[in-house]
């Protein structure tokens, strides 16, 4: 994988100034900014397909909006268990306020649920980008929830995937330097940072990357004659 290219590829486009300007402005508009999410999905697809200049044009807004809406809806579905954990913790917290031995049991249960909530939140943070990549490549909403395929994508490129997640965090940190420009530049550096992750995920989904990944081999059957 070319990790460095994920940070620089937008600037290789002849119209990068216009495209980033439009993306930065659209990201400020509620609801409309779903097209920015769809744009990121399109970047994943373009990189996976080996498009030389993967930064899409700002056209087909309807398609971009639908892709962004589907991605946001899937993300909300992924977080539903977090909401359930939060409600259970609220109930247990109320029951643990009595101060008796039974309350102590509820307090222990609340701590256990809290640990489960943290663990699940970590899993979302790790797996959701891979789920987005699968959706981008297949175009199927159900791809967000094909856990086996998502795990396979992560496991077959585990080292590169972990590095990609870390680089996404680095890109977000770098985007904060837009604050230097009186809070105006951050709009555009933030949009730039959202393109780094999709490019990394697109590289992981390229056919060449998939071919290089180890695949499980069926056991050999010895025929005794």
This prediction has a pTM of: 0.82
What is the predicted pLDDT for the residue at 89?
A: 77
Separation of alpha carbons 34 and 131, rounded Å: 18
Instruction: Report the pLDDT averaged over residues 93-118.
Output: 74
Asked if residue 41 lies in contact with residue 73, where contact means CB atoms within 8 angstroms, the answer is no
Per DSSP, the three-state class of 159 is helix
* Structural domain count, the chain: 1
Range of the domain at 55: 5-206
Residue 12 DSSP code: G
What is the predicted pLDDT for the residue at 98?
A: 59
Is pLDDT at 216 greater than 50 in this prediction?
no
Q: Which two tokens stand for residue 224?
A: 């005794």
Note whether residue 211 is domain-resident: no
Tokens 């890109």 — which residue?
Answer: 171
Other Cβ atoms less than 10 A from the Cβ of 131: the count is 23
Separation of alpha carbons 52 and 62, rounded Å: 24
Task: Provide the pLDDT confidence category of residue 184 given band limits of 50, 70 and 90.
Answer: low
Is pLDDT at 137 greater than 90 in this prediction?
yes
Asked if residue 97 lies in contact with residue 107, where contact means CB atoms within 8 angstroms, the answer is no
Residue 217 DSSP code: P
Note whether residue 18 is domain-resident: yes
Note whether residue 217 is domain-resident: no
* Segment 42-75, tens digit of pLDDT: 999 999 999 889 999 998 899 999 999 999 999 9
Q: Which residue has the higher pLDDT, 26 or 113?
A: 26
The percent of residues in the chain predicted with pLDDT above 90, rounded, is 51
Note whether residue 152 is domain-resident: yes
What is the predicted pLDDT for the residue at 225?
A: 40
Note whether residue 224 is domain-resident: no
Note whether residue 215 is domain-resident: no
Q: Which residue has the higher pLDDT, 176 or 34?
A: 34
Note whether residue 41 is domain-resident: yes
């Amino acid at each position: 994988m070319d990790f460095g290219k994920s940070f620089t590829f937008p600037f290789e486009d002849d119209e990068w100034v216009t495209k980033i300007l439009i993306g930065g402005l659209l990201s400020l508009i509620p609801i409309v900014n779903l097209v920015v999410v769809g744009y990121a999905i399109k970047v994943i697809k373009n990189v996976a397909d080996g498009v030389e200049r993967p930064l899409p044009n700002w056209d087909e807004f309807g398609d971009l909006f639908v892709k962004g809406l589907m991605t946001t809806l899937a993300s909300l579905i992924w977080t539903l268990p977090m909401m359930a954990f939060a409600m259970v913790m609220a109930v247990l917290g109320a029951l643990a306020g009595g101060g008796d031995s039974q309350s102590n049991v509820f307090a222990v249960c609340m701590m256990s649920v809290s640990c489960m909530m943290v663990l699940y939140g970590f899993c979302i943070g790790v797996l959701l980008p891979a789920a987005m990549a699968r959706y981008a490549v297949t175009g199927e909403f159900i791809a967000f929830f094909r856990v086996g395929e998502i795990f396979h994508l992560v496991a077959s490129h585990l080292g590169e995937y972990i590095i990609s997640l870390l680089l996404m965090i680095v890109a977000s940190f770098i985007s904060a330097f837009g604050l230097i420009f009186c809070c105006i530049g951050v709009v555009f550096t933030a949009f730039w940072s959202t393109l780094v992750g999709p490019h990394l995920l697109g590289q992981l989904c390229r056919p060449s990357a998939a071919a290089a990944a180890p695949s499980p081999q069926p056991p050999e059957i010895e025929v005794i004659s």
